[in-house]
Structure formats: C-alpha cells, structure tokens
Amino acid sequence: MAKNRRTQGMPTRVELLKNNKLSKNIEILNPNLIRIFEKKNDTSLFSLNLEKDEDMEERFLDISSERVITKFGDFEVKVDDCLNVSVLKNGHRYFEEYSGDDTEIRIIDQVFDLAALEGHAKQEHIVEFKARCNFTLFSDDDKIYGLGDKTAHFNRRDFEYISWNSDEPTQHNETYRSLYKSINFLMVTHDGMWYGLFYPSSYKTVWNLGKYNKKYMYYGSEKGENDYFLILGEGPSDIVKTYYKLIGPQLFTTLKFMGAHQSRWSYSEAEAREMLRHHVEDHWPLDFIHFDIDYMEDYKVYTVNNNYISDLKSLSAEFKKDGVGVITILDPGVKLQEGYEIYDYLTAHNGFAKKDGVDYVNAVWPGDSKYPNYFKKEVRDYLTAATADFMEKYGISGIWCDMNEPASFKGPLPSDVEFADDEGRVLYHDRVHNLYAEYMSKTVAQAFIQKNKRPSVITRAAFATTSRYTTSWNGDNQSLWDHLRASLPQLATMNMSGFAMNSVDVGGFGNDCSKELLIRWTEANILIPYFRNHSCKNSRYQEPYAFDRETYDICKKYYQLRYDLMPYLYDLQWQAHADGSPMIAPLFYYYPEEPRTLEENTEVMIGELLLHAPILNQGQRSRLVYFPEGRWVDLFTKKVYEGKKEYIVEMELGATGLFAREGALLPMYQGLTSLDKKQIDTLYICPVAGEGTDPENIDFLPYTNHEDDGESLDYERGIYNETVYSYDGKKLDAVKVTGRYPSDYKQVKILPF
C-alpha cells in the first residue's frame, strides 16, 4: 500500500526524559490524534478504539536532545525544558500545556463556608489532584465548547465543571457544575484555529475553564492518571469525527423511536386511553407512551401494580394496534424485601454492591434498596433475561433507564462501596460511579440485540462511551423559559459528543408549564433527535391537548411537520451513527469561519440543510435571525434571506423560524401519524426554492437517502438501500449506490415546495 505522505516517517511514540527519568510519553495514533501521558489511565472498563493508522511507521524517538518532536502537514509538535508539550500550526501557537508559574489553585472557599454557615450541606470540593494538566488560554477571546449535558450556553469558558454523574433535583442553572453525565470532551477555538481534548478516566474530574486564572484552564482528577488525548483538526467537524472514532459507534435506534413520545409521572389507565383517543380520533401523531414508576408494585422493578394498571398486557396490545408502543421505566435500585424474586436471586448470587463484606443498602423510590452489580457478567445476564421476559410478558417496546447515576436518597454512596467483576477483582465506587449507567444500559440493550432488534433504550446518566448502547435524555429540567433556552446548547453539545439521539423533557419536567411555554417549546424542539413531552407528578398537565384548541392545533401542526420530515431526520441518524455528525448542531459547527456563529446560542442547524431560530422568550413575537453563508428560505412563507446577514423575522404564536437552504432536496413523508413501515409507500422529494426563483436557475445539491427495515440489525449486514437523488429544476434522477433492501416505496415523487 502506498504510504500516506502525512504519516510517513512520523514517530508513533516519543518518550520524554527528565533527569534521565522517563517522565512523559507522546503517542501519535494518527495525524489527528495524539495521546500525551505520564501513565495511561486503565480504560479497560469502557471501550476506546485505539488502533493506530496502518501506514504509520513504528519509530521511537529519544527526545532528550531534541525540541521538535515531529512535523506533519501544518503541524509541528514541540516540547520545552519542563517537558510541556506544545503544537504550532503553520508557525502559529495552536496548543500549549501551560508553562507559567502561577498555577497554584486558589479556591474561594468562603462561598462554601457561607452556605455551610447558613445550615446547608457543605459542598465537596476537590483541591488535591493526583493528576492535573494546565492548558494555555491564549486570550480572552478563546472559546471552549463541550462537556456534555450542562445547562449553559455553548461557550463554557470561565466556568468550572465536575464530571461526576449527579441526580440534583434543584433548578439547574448555568453555573451547575455536575449534571447527570460525565463527558470529558471539549473543543477550544482561538484565532480561527480549533483543537479538542479528551480525558479518558471515569474518576471524578474537575474541569476549570479559566475560572481562577484567565491564562489557563485545567483538568484535575483525584484518582485518574496524567493522560489525555489531543485532537488536531481544521475545525469542529473534523475534531468531532476524530473524537467519535475514538469513542463510537453510537447506537443506531429504530425509525419508530424517532416519532413523538408522550410521558408523565405517572399516567393512569384512563389518562392513557384518553391519549390514545387523541391519536386515533384527531390524528395526533404519536409513537410511544411512557409509563413512569407507579405502574410497579411498591416500585419493585420487573413487577406490575394491577391496582394501578389492571392489565398491562392488554393495554399495550390496545396501543400497539393503533401504532403506539409502550415504554416502561426501569430503575436500578432493587427493593430490600425477602420473598421478592429479583431481590432473592441477586442476594443469593452475590449480585449486589457490597461494603465491608455485606450488601450495601441505601434508599431510592422503593425505600431501602440494594444496587445490582452490573459489572459482573452473571448479574448482567440475569437482568438482561429479566428485561426480555418482562417485555415479552407485557408487550413492552422500550425501556427507560432512570436513577442510574446511581441516585441515592440517604446520602452519596461511599467511595469504597465495592463492585466485584467476573474475576473477583474489586472495583470501587469512585472508579465505577460514572460507568454505572453504561453497564445498566448495556444490560438492557442486550435484551433487544439478542432478538436482532435495535434497542429502544433511554438513559439519564452516562459516561463518554455510553451512547454505544442507548439513547439519552437530560433529566429533570423545569418548565422555565431559561430551560427552554438551555435546551439548544445542551442537545447540540451532546450531539457533538457522540450522543445524537438525545432529548430534553419538552415543556419542562418540574413546575407548571403555561400554554405559551408549551407552544414555544414544542416549536423550538420539534426537530430534536428524540422528542418526548414529559412532566412531573403534581405539575400542570402539559400534553398538547391539555390546554385549549389553539394550543392543540398549533402543536399538532408541528408534530405533523416532524413526521413529514422524518426521512430527513432518519438520514441524519444514519450519518450520526456512521461518523458522529451531529443531528442538531450549533451554527459554528458548519460555519466556524463566520465569527458571528461562535457565540450564537439561540439558533441551531438540523443537519446541514435546515436552520432553526425559534422564539425562546415569553411574550416575544419577532426575533433577530443570523443567516450564515448561502440563501435561506422560510419553510412556511417561502421568503428568501441572504446569508451572512441578520434580519428581524416576525413569529406570532404558532410561527417559528425554520429555514431551508435554497437548492436543498428534502426527503419527506406526507401525513403519517405513526411510523409504521407498512403505511409508508411513497417517498417525496421536496426541492427548496425561494419565492419568485425559477427552479431551473438553482443548482440543487444532490441528496443521499437511506432506507432499511428501520428496526432490525440487518443494516449491519448491508441490507439497506442508499440512493442519491439529483434534480435539475425539471427532472428528478435517482442513482442507487446499494440496494439490498426490498424497498417499501412504490413511488418516489416530487413534492412542490
């Protein structure tokens, strides 16, 4: 094979010596990925793809006498006397480990003392780090994006975060340091350049993004090693894709899962039937109803309370007949109760976490409970079987994994709670806490995979690699305009971290949703990858039909739009699974060279072809919209907007700023109310042309569409169709790239825009 010019002759590993002692290693996995470490983290509990580029030469370099380690493409990797690594790009400072001597950590502890003085629990703060690395912030304009589900704006500069999966029911605001997920991946941009960092450890990790000293940021970890990946690239999209290769592939879930989900804690049987009636009689699009914890007997997992739902099996059959699947919630905590099968089995088989030699007990919804040790295969196999049996017995289509941080109502789990693995090796809680949800999700997903089904699994907590097994949502937000605003950066940041099928509770979980908030939230989130309206017990009901006719009609119109655009959303999921491309992205993902995009928190891209600038404020009826390069057409009014400009756009209640790139070919369905493949016999292709523009004068972009059965794993064996459509303003052309799936489409038709 011809050698790649970029990698030829590059050392794959450089050992840096200080006073003749090995102090640091630089391992070059490919021209975009460098691992810098003193000692590697033990990553055996989660999967990373660590293969090196095939054509890289195995070459070690003793750097004790050299300062420039390697040069490739535009990059030059260097090291200074203190072994700080830096990278130049075309001779410009691109990445640096910080070498200043002002890196002492100044914790402003009074804040926490004040809280303690006022009787609040003293917040834990880490000051002693076993591993810590400082990275230069070049100027006040450097921007930092990433770290997963945080309720902040895209740019997380100046804040401090802690990767420690946490179930915090209080109102998440932009300074919240730990939420449900721990994703140690971020991207930095300065002076038009971009790089990424990934810290591969499941131990509690602090990310200080310039809070104490604006000249540097750092990660610090109590127990992890000094070891991180530096991701080089031209811009955010290639950094995201390189990162994705390291942690993916993420789960590719079903077509049906991408329909609308309706949930509340907890629906009674009568309320569930009322929902189904709206679906059947009013043609309100719906694919899933969720049953929250009250369907269980005393919150015991894998049981059903027949006083709450008299016959779950016939109820789910009733729903299924009308195209609606049932998803039930599953918590990890197992009620401490002798005679309860799951409890007895896991107790007898040493299947629970232990402390000081005995099963560890804390409390969750069922009261005193024990925590299954998912790190043991025997436990996983048992609970996979229990999940499969439960789904089979009651006709359940999906499982919603909650409380898997793991949550605990009697204080945090001590760090020495033990989870023994199959070899009897003890894994302590401080190492596996952030991985608990991953192992639970994997256990549940297996119940689907065993049957050649793509998993319909949802998780609340997650680690960087957890999307391999499950979709996710971002936990207990509230019915607040602030949380509607936060939803876009949250979802798009998760999407840039390999978690495409991510959701927030539409309408907000806690507090009372108003009519206006529900309408605006539905408009703003209607094209998010996974769409679920969910609310808390005792809050105002917030189903689209819970308010008045106007609310219902507006929401229905948008639900229908989601279903009509489903082939486009499905293709986005296909691509996300293939290479980590976000389904929902910040504007800067596609237009990093337009400075106006770097701090844009209120507009998002849905794939490359749609731009969404919704109303996110109470009482607002128009807003400023920034259009990136190109010409953009309002999906509803057909008005054209020129790129690299800002416009004020009117958006009455019921109108949202949704724009398509002129020249796009949008694949669509028409009028479906559930995603049943049997109902789908026509694919429409809609050529986007602005009002008054002759389609023959537009250069339409070719569009690649994917089709398969939407539910099995057969696509992995190549059973799918890939078709490239093109249009010259008059005639549609289709070129089949692969075609092993017997197509459901009897026809492909042009749908006039």
Applying CB under 6 A, which residues contact ligand GLC?
265, 292-293, 329, 402, 460, 475-476, 509, 534
Shortest Cβ distance from residue 433 to ligand GLC (Å)? 18
Using the minimum distance from each CB to ligand GLC, give the nearer residue, 525 or 674: 525
DSSP-H helix ranges across 409-479? 429-432, 436-449
Shortest Cβ distance from residue 463 to ligand GLC (Å)? 18
Tokens of 156: 């997380």
- Axis crossing angle, helix 515-525 with helix 481-495, rounded to the nearest 10: 20
Using the minimum distance from each CB to ligand GLC, give the nearer residue, 298 or 691: 298
Using the minimum distance from each CB to ligand GLC, give the nearer residue, 266 or 316: 266
What φ, ψ does residue 717 adopt, rounded to 5°? -100, 15
What φ, ψ does residue 723 adopt, rounded to 5°? -125, 135
Measured distance CA(152)–CA(174) in Å, rounded? 4
Using the minimum distance from each CB to ligand GLC, give the nearer residue, 167 or 571: 167
Complete DSSP assignment for 205-239? EEEESSSS-TTEEEEEESS--SEEEEEEESSHHHH
Shortest Cβ distance from residue 293 to ligand GLC (Å)? 4
Shortest Cβ distance from residue 405 to ligand GLC (Å)? 10
- Count of H-run helices and E-run strands, the chain: 13, 48
Using the minimum distance from each CB to ligand GLC, give the nearer residue, 292 or 708: 292
Shortest Cβ distance from residue 529 to ligand GLC (Å)? 18
Using the minimum distance from each CB to ligand GLC, give the nearer residue, 402 or 634: 402
Q: ∠ at Cα 246 (202, 130), nearest 5°?
A: 30
DSSP 283: -
Shortest Cβ distance from residue 299 to ligand GLC (Å)? 9
Give me the torsion for CA of 626, 629, 634, 635, rounded to 10°. -120
Using the minimum distance from each CB to ligand GLC, give the nearer residue, 35 or 534: 534
Using the minimum distance from each CB to ligand GLC, give the nearer residue, 400 or 589: 400
Shortest Cβ distance from residue 533 to ligand GLC (Å)? 12
Neighbouring C-beta atoms of residue 336, cutoff 10 Å: 18
Give me the torsion for CA of 508, 514, 517, 521, rounded to 10°. 50
Strands 334-335 and 367-370: antiparallel
Tokens of 285: 């699009």
Using the minimum distance from each CB to ligand GLC, give the nearer residue, 150 or 157: 150
CA R_g for the chain? 26
| Helix/strand/coil percentages in the chain, nearest 5 | 25, 30, 45
Using the minimum distance from each CB to ligand GLC, give the nearer residue, 206 or 486: 486
Shortest Cβ distance from residue 290 to ligand GLC (Å)? 9
Measured distance CA(393)–CA(390) in Å, rounded? 5
Shortest Cβ distance from residue 534 to ligand GLC (Å)? 6
Shortest Cβ distance from residue 263 to ligand GLC (Å)? 8
- Reduce the DSSP state of residue 578 to 3 states and report it: helix
- Laid out side by side, the sheet with 205-208 consists of 131-136, 216-221, 205-208, 160-163
Strands 260-262 and 227-233: unpaired
Exposed e or buried b for every residue in 252-288, given b needs 16+ CB within 10 A? bbbbbbbbbbbbbbbbeeeebeebbebbeeeebbbbb
Residue of minimal Cβ distance to ligand GLC: 265
Using the minimum distance from each CB to ligand GLC, give the nearer residue, 538 or 697: 538
Shortest Cβ distance from residue 491 to ligand GLC (Å)? 17
Using the minimum distance from each CB to ligand GLC, give the nearer residue, 511 or 601: 511
Measured distance CA(523)–CA(381) in Å, rounded? 42
Shortest Cβ distance from residue 120 to ligand GLC (Å)? 21
Where does residue 119 fall: left (phi above 0), alpha (psi -120 to 50 degrees), or beta otherwise? Answer: left
Tokens of 60: 């070690």
Q: How far is CA 444 from CA 192, 332, 384, 455, in A?
A: 43, 11, 6, 8
Closest CA to 196 of 237, 155, 225: 237
Measured distance CA(530)–CA(542) in Å, rounded? 18
Shortest Cβ distance from residue 593 to ligand GLC (Å)? 39
Question: Distance between alpha carbon 391 and the CA centroid of its chain, in Å?
Answer: 25
Does 695 sit behind a cis peptide bond, omega within 30 degrees of 0 on the bond before it?
Answer: no
Shortest Cβ distance from residue 287 to ligand GLC (Å)? 19
Shortest Cβ distance from residue 460 to ligand GLC (Å)? 6
Using the minimum distance from each CB to ligand GLC, give the nearer residue, 494 or 606: 494
Shortest Cβ distance from residue 148 to ligand GLC (Å)? 16
Shortest Cβ distance from residue 430 to ligand GLC (Å)? 24
Strands 216-221 and 185-190: unpaired
Residue 133 identity (one-letter amino acid): C
Q: For residue 676, what are the contacts with CB-CB under 8 A and spacing of at least 6?
A: 256, 323
Using the minimum distance from each CB to ligand GLC, give the nearer residue, 458 or 680: 458
Using the minimum distance from each CB to ligand GLC, give the nearer residue, 293 or 546: 293
Shortest Cβ distance from residue 212 to ligand GLC (Å)? 33
Using the minimum distance from each CB to ligand GLC, give the nearer residue, 217 or 364: 364
Using the minimum distance from each CB to ligand GLC, give the nearer residue, 327 or 615: 327
What φ, ψ does residue 160 adopt, rounded to 5°? -125, 135
Contact 203, 185 (CB under 8 A): no
Residue 10 identity (one-letter amino acid): M
Using the minimum distance from each CB to ligand GLC, give the nearer residue, 222 or 476: 476
